[in-house]
Amino acid sequence: MMAKIKSFLPFLAWFPYKTDSLRADLIAGITVALVLIPQSMAYAQLAGLPAYYGLYAAFLPVAVAALFGSSKQLSTGPVAVASLLTASALLPFAPLGTPEFVGLAILLSLLVGVVQFSLGLFRLGVVVNFLSHPVIVGFTNAAAIIIGLSQLSKVFGVNMPRSESFVQDIMGVMRNLPLTHFPTLAFGVVAFAIMFLMKKYRPKLPNVLVAVGLSILVSWLIDFKGMGGSVIGDIPSGLPMPQLPMINLDMTIKLLPSAFIISLVGFMEAISIAKAMAAKTKDRIDPNQELIGQGIANVVGSLTQAYPASGSFSRSAVNLGAGARTGMSSVFTAVMVLATLLFLTPLLHHLPQAVLAAVIMMAVVGLINFKAVRHAWHANKHDGVAAVVTFCATMAFAPHLDKGILVGALLAIGLFLYRTMHPRVAHLGRFEDGTLRDLAVHPHLPTDPRIIVLRFDGQLYFANVSFFEDILLAAVSEKPDVQFVLVVGDGINQLDASGEEVIHHLVERLRENGITLVFSGLKRQVLQVMHHTGLFELIGRTNLFATEDMALADIYGRMGPEGAFCPLLSPLEKPLAETDR
């Protein structure tokens, strides 16, 4: 009974809570908060929202995701990719930063939460597999570049036009470079340098907080705002008022595809991080419970004016490195954000926008990983193509990033189907020791003109049965003296109705021409289909064998041992029965 309760309320596993865990979680929670607070404001602006909405997304969603998720160290909150996806999803419906845009962002958070919660509740976390790793790699690289380039206008202190073409927007920034506000540029460059150097030489110190703190101090001392510089300005103090998002049925339908994409991309990022940390801590991760946790976090966040949140790689690494032992560290992080909202917002007034831009650019530098694209290409050319096409499509469709990832996902699925439609079929020859090998690799191996031996490496289903039939009949047509066709079926994992029908016709067609179709190594699930459909009896029990050696021994027992292909084997003891394999 207690196990079932803990499955619904995972945070109960933290208790009894130990004193040493309290100290470790408190330190980790404060450390993560020092990174999260400035990052959340930067990511909110990346999403097209006022900076303080990032603090709202860094408050309750952080704690709720930890309470209902299965990972003890995953740090949830605003992240770069989800922020950019939010902006791209809402841009067609409202201008950035307007009250209408803010309302849609909060509605989108609710939709993302509902989608994630539903997927987790119905144990459908496997749908994330439709976004293959190469697709995510290509998308992430493109998104990182787009995010970085989108911050150039803030670093140089110039205007950036907003249109349906991201390339034209960047060109507009380039044309405005002669109008660069040099104090703004100085703040951006120095902040980036501080974070980069501290990350390299003092990685344990909160580099983002140091850069932000120093920038606020200098900005206040030199009256950067009075010099024409852009700062955060006034941030409403206190907590966001709980309220239901404005739900419009027509807009909900329009936003649902984007919500689904943000749900999958966000969850894939979160579960990848959680599994990586679980491998170090030896904890157990339940992907469906993690979906439920992320879903509840986004639903609750939408009630407190937050936009979509997800698991953060950088902050989760900080959380783990700081010694977090349970999800209570994220609760302490949320408490720190609460204190900031209640008491510290006036201190953020003089924070230069260029510094937040530098924070974003510093964060996305780590997302650029072209080695992963090259690795996917070396692993499988189709995966490499999927990664490259996703990258190019995402760049081409910017700022509408959802279209880029959809192109990549559909291409990956299409390439997978193409591979299964044309599985590897090997024509086999025989070594002197009796082993069968692919003639394409060992063309010198002897064959027997009376026998064709094929190995089919793939399931036999509706999409590839015609390919199987064509290959087999083509092989038969090339050998006029053939008497037996042996199909080595160790690689056939599935047989559907279409596959059974084709084999049925092949057996009859070959038999009419004096050719016997023989199978070896078929798995139990394939044999069961043959039994249920009567194909087993049609092929004949004497033409189904456990191994290719047994099959060839029986074939030569029928034909007579002539030719170099004849195996040096003992006589066959028994054919393949229903219970074999």
Do 315 and 460 lie in a common domain? no
Do 144 and 288 lie in a common domain? yes
Do 222 and 341 lie in a common domain? yes
pLDDT digits (tens, 9 = 90+) for 28-47: 999 899 889 999 999 999 99
**Helical ranges in 398-492 per DSSP H:** 401-421, 465-477
**Does residue 569 fall inside a structural domain?**
no
Burial 486-497 (b: 16+ CB within 10 A, else e): bbbbebbeebee
Residue 574 above 70 pLDDT? no
Do 35 and 132 lie in a common domain? yes
pLDDT digits (tens, 9 = 90+) for 415-440: 888 888 989 899 998 876 678 888 88
What sign for the dihedral angle of Cα 89, 95, 96, 101?
negative
The CA distance from 501 to 516, in Å, is 17
**Does residue 13 fall inside a structural domain?**
no
**Does residue 377 fall inside a structural domain?**
no
**Does residue 498 fall inside a structural domain?**
yes
Q: Output the average pLDDT for the chain.
A: 89
pLDDT digits (tens, 9 = 90+) for 520-554: 999 999 999 999 999 999 999 999 999 999 999 89
pLDDT at 528: 95
> Among 72-76, 166-170, 288-292, 506-510, whose mean pLDDT is lowest?
166-170
Domain containing residue 225: 18-237+253-371
**Does residue 289 fall inside a structural domain?**
yes
The CATH number of the domain holding residue 434 is 3.30.750.24
Residue 573 above 50 pLDDT? no
Residue 318: pLDDT band (50, 70, 90) is: confident
Mean pLDDT of 258-269: 90
The one-letter amino acid code at 88 reads S
Q: Which tokens hold the place of 572?
A: 């066959």
The CA distance from 3 to 9, in Å, is 10
- The set of residues, in sequence order, having a beta carbon less than 8 Å from that of 229 and lying 6+ positions away, is 157, 181, 183, 184, 187, 219, 352, 354
Do 353 and 434 lie in a common domain? no
| 3-class SS shares of the chain: helix, strand, coil, % to 5 | 65, 5, 30
Angle subtended by helix axes 166-175 and 133-150, to nearest 10? 30
Q: Exposed, middle or buried, 451 (CB in 10 Å: 0-12/13-18/19+)?
A: buried
What SS3 class is residue 231?
strand
Residue 580 above 50 pLDDT? no
| Percent of the chain surpassing pLDDT 90 | 58
Q: Which tokens hold the place of 443?
A: 């063309």
Instruction: Please check whether residue 386 is in contact with residue 134, taking contact to mean a CB–CB distance below 8 angstroms.
Output: yes
Do 108 and 175 lie in a common domain? yes
Do 299 and 437 lie in a common domain? no
Rg (CA), the chain: 31
**Does residue 75 fall inside a structural domain?**
yes
pLDDT at 401: 81
**Does residue 521 fall inside a structural domain?**
yes
Do 277 and 357 lie in a common domain? yes
Do 190 and 327 lie in a common domain? yes
pLDDT digits (tens, 9 = 90+) for 327-347: 999 999 999 999 999 998 999
Residue 2: pLDDT band (50, 70, 90) is: low
Among residues 49, 104, 146, the alpha carbon closest in space to that of 248 is found at 104
Q: Which is more confidently placed, 307 or 568?
A: 307
Give the residue from 348, 371, 394 where a domain finishes: 371
pLDDT at 182: 95
The CA distance from 508 to 516, in Å, is 9
The CA distance from 160 to 67, in Å, is 41
The CA distance from 78 to 269, in Å, is 12
pLDDT digits (tens, 9 = 90+) for 464-513: 999 999 999 999 999 999 999 999 999 999 999 999 999 999 999 999 99
pLDDT digits (tens, 9 = 90+) for 293-316: 999 999 999 999 999 999 998 899
pLDDT at 241: 85
Do 429 and 364 lie in a common domain? no
Do 283 and 156 lie in a common domain? yes
Do 428 and 327 lie in a common domain? no
Terminal Cα-to-Cα distance of the chain (whole angstroms):
40
The CA distance from 420 to 231, in Å, is 56
Residue 578 above 50 pLDDT? no
Instruction: Please check whether residue 44 is in contact with residue 83, taking contact to mean a CB–CB distance below 8 angstroms.
Output: yes
Residue 572: pLDDT band (50, 70, 90) is: very low
CA 76 to chain centre: 17
Strands 516-520 and 544-545, bridge-based pairing:
parallel
The CA distance from 166 to 174, in Å, is 13
- Specify the number of domains making up the chain: 2
What SS3 class is residue 559?
helix
Residue 156: pLDDT band (50, 70, 90) is: very high
pLDDT at 153: 92
**Does residue 438 fall inside a structural domain?**
yes
pLDDT at 581: 43
CA 45 to chain centre: 25
Question: 555-561 — which CB contacts under 8 Å span 24+ positions?
Answer: 555/451, 555/484, 555/486, 555/518, 559/450, 559/483, 559/484
Residue 561: pLDDT band (50, 70, 90) is: low
